[in-house]
Copies of this chain bind each other. A is one copy, B any other.
Amino acid sequence: MSSAATRPTGPDDLWSVDEHLEDILSTVRPLEPIELQLLDAQGCVLVEDVTVPVSLPPFDNSSMDGYAVRVADVEGAGEEFPAVLDVVGDVAAGTADLVHVGPGQAARIMTGAPLPPGAEAVVPVEWTDGGLGEGPVSGMRARSLAPEGAEGQVRVHRPVEARAHVRDKGSDVKAGDRALEAGTILGPPQIALLAAIGRGTVRVRPRPRVVVLSTGSELVQPGEELAGGQIYDSNSFALTAAARDAGAIAYRVGAVADDTDTLRSAIEDQLVRADLLVTTGGVSVGAYDVVKEALSYAGDEDEAGGGVEFRKLAMQPGKPQGFGSIGPDHTPLLALPGNPVSSYVSFELFVRPAIRTLMGLTDVHRPRTRARLEADKALRSPKGRRQFLRGAYADGEVTLVGGTGSHLIAALAHADALIVVPEDVESVEPGAEVEVVLLG
């Protein structure tokens, strides 16, 4: 990556892919953290170290359904000569009012219930007669059907050691331990731990709200009829889906006609719900390139449209790109080219890392690997441009899907990787090793 000092300065200078990316990632800042309910924080990045307020488990408790006993009372017990104990009551999970287990006594106890005072260990119910006076049982009868199980006598067929089948207070985590570190991404097991230690809310960076607008007077909503010269808007659908996939809350505005006032007012309208704006189309060298026209004027920087810079990248597809910020909050805006494949590739290379930076993630890029090119003939690539071709990757090999045209959206739907051909390479032979971006 180059530093800002070496960036292209003239309007026709080409920016490298890395220079453009570096400009974006050095500008976009992680969103301010907010306190969220646990399940609303799923997939978000924790911004605080979380300490355990109370030891887990919070009290000694039984790991089995059985009988809480004193060790001396069951010493030497066997099936032939069982220890016979008086059952003094039930200890169910959630019970606060505990019976006391004295010499010659047992309390019937359930998994997770506190070990009652006096008891030293738990005998699993399968090692007893369950109070029925016959052989070993496989379980207890339901309390509601057989309330007498909480009293009477129980025959214990095996001895236990002290603390047997008891989970010690604090054996999972202790009060004061660090449960999770700042920077942790909250998946289901982390949410489980936070809930277990009693955290109902947690401080995280929220998911960014990404607004997607496509531009073009030729665009028609899918499902409607095409008139002459019209095509269906696919970019706003593709990029809304891709933004969600990257972790954002995405809003699709849909297609805006090629008119600067309409576009400016559509963008200003959306600012209130945007942490990032993405537009497609209108960024090239034509006379109707409305995004460029609406946003590149040198206005007050506190005014919408003040700070977006349009540039050419040494890249194919995706040469024309815009990046900057707009509105009173300097909301970042990425203006992507309008060809469906160009906009999708641009999204993967620039918008996805921006979204993940807003989320506070450190790993913002798609994984890359190297693969052997499986092809009939050499790939051609223009000198001085980094080319991204659609490919299908499997087991260390990548196959070209479709051609190089930036309108080949059908091929994109059957690709799962981008083949990268560097700026200084004009031809890649079949069998050569290439860099591949895995689209997941």
The interface of chain A, by Cβ under 8 A from chain B, is: 11-12, 38-39, 42, 54, 56-59, 63, 65, 90, 92-96, 98, 108, 110-114, 125-126, 138-146, 149-150, 167, 171-173, 177, 179-180, 187-201, 216-224, 226-235, 237-242, 244-245, 252, 258, 260, 284-289, 293, 338-340, 344, 405-413, 415, 439
Contact = CB atoms under 8 A, between A and B. Distances in A.
Pairs A-B, 7 closest by C-beta atoms? A200-B223, A139-B285, A94-B218, A192-B238, A94-B217, A96-B228, A65-B286
A236 to B, nearest CB: 8
Contacts of A415: 189
B413 A189 contact: yes
B412 A189 contact: yes
A202 to B, nearest CB: 10
A93 B38 contact: no
A140, A221, A406: which has the most chain B beta carbons within 10 Å? A140
Given A217-B94, A231-B57, A412 B193 contact: yes
B193 A285 contact: no
A241 B187 contact: yes
Given A142-B293, A287-B149, A238 B200 contact: no
A239 B188 CA distance: 7
11 contacts: A42-B241, A112-B218, A114-B229, A139-B284, A171-B407, A189-B344, A192-B241, A192-B344, A196-B231, A198-B223, A198-B232
A228 to B, nearest CB: 4
A308 B98 CA distance: 33
A189 B238 CA distance: 6
A287 B140 contact: yes
Contacts of A194: 222, 237
A340 B196 contact: yes
B195 A238 contact: yes
Contacts of A245: 42, 187-188
A338 B110 CA distance: 12
B226 A58 contact: yes
A125 B338 CA distance: 18
Given A65-B286, A172-B408, A286-B65, A231 B112 contact: yes
Contacts of A201: 223
A94, A98, A233, A240: which has the most chain B beta carbons within 10 Å? A94
A93 B280 CA distance: 14
Contact of A94 (B216, B284, B406, B408): B216
Contact of A167 (B111, B223, B405): B405
Nearest to A12: B138
B287 A110 contact: yes
A409 B293 contact: no
Given A167-B405, A226-B58, A408-B172, A237 B93 contact: no
B222 A200 contact: yes
A193 B92 contact: no
Contacts of A411: 172
A385 to B, nearest CB: 15
A188 B114 contact: no
A187 B407 CA distance: 18
A289 B217 CA distance: 65
Contacts of A407: 56-57, 63, 167, 171-172
A190 B413 CA distance: 5
B11 A138 contact: yes
Contacts of A197: 222, 232
Nearest to A90: B287
A108 B139 CA distance: 86
A197 B188 CA distance: 38
Given A179-B413, A196-B231, A284-B111, A188 B238 contact: yes
A241 B196 contact: no
A121 B439 CA distance: 36
Contacts of A95: 218, 229
Nearest to A243: B188
A189 B240 CA distance: 11
A179 B222 CA distance: 15
Contacts of A149: 287
